[in-house]
Structure 1
Amino acid sequence: MRLITLALTVLLLLIQYPLWLGKGGWLRVKEFEAQVDAAHKKNAELLARNAKLDSEVRDLKDGTGAVEERARYELSMIKQNEIFIQIVGKGQAAAPVPLAPKPAAADAPVP
């Protein structure tokens, strides 16, 4: 009787091995599920970034507002007959802002 119990226990362990540690075992399935979740998260981040870039490209192609905004903030340009005012808080030093060069022709558009 003791031999039969031991044999059945060994068979049970042999059957359980592929279930836990085998090629399609539960541990490997959990690993793959974690990888799939990470890939879904990364894809969602990339889709959000692509949507933002797409809207920016569309805005740059269609409207002049984005071009004008970039010229103001990145290149410190101002329109003709426009006054530039910079407000500096206490304890902050005002950094000199380079002005855009004047256009050669008087009728040339300035962003």
Structure 2
Amino acid sequence: MKWLTIILLTLLVLLQHRLWFGKNSWPDYIQLKQEIASQTQANKVLANKNNLQYKEISDLKDGLEAIEERARSQLGLIKKNEDYYRIIE
């Protein structure tokens, strides 16, 4: 009976050691959980950026107003019979 108790206690200690210090241990689990939360947040930010770009692409494909706005702001284009004023501060 004494040997059985010693063997069972040794087995329990070995299993506990693996739980706390071995591969895929409890601290590893907590670290991975934090990494997943961080990556999920980064994915949300990137998904929002993607949605904005999809909306911009849709505007460029469908609406002429967006094209006109880009031409005016980035290329400095103006319409016929339109006066262009540049204000320098």
SS in 2 for 1:23: coil
* CA shift for structure 1 position 68: 0.5
Q: For the pair shown, which has the larger CA radius of gyration, 1 or 2?
A: 1
Could you tell me the percent identity over the aligned residues? 37
SS in 1 for 2:57: helix
Q: Give every structure 1 segment of 4 or more consecutive aligned residues whose post-TM-superposition deviation is greater than 4 Å.
A: 9-13
Structure 1 CA distance, aligned partners of 2:24 and 2:15? 13
Structure 1 CA distance, aligned partners of 2:45 and 2:59? 21
Tell me the number of residue pairs that the alignment of Structure 1 and Structure 2 aligns: 83
Give the number of the structure whose residues are more often helix, by fraction: 2
Q: Structure 1 stretch 74-83 or stretch 29-38: which is displaced more?
A: 29-38
Query: Normalising to structure 1: TM-score of the pair?
Result: 0.64
Please list, as runs of the form range in 1=range in 2, the aligned pairs for 1:18-97 lying within 5 A after superposition. 18-89=18-89
State the Cα deviation string for residues 54-101 of structure 1 (Å, max 9, x = none).
100110111111101110111111111111112222xxxxxxxxxxxx
Query: Normalising to structure 2: TM-score of the pair?
Result: 0.78
For structure 2, which runs of at least 5 residues remain unmatched after alignment? 1-8
For structure 1, which runs of at least 5 residues remain unmatched after alignment? 1-8, 90-111
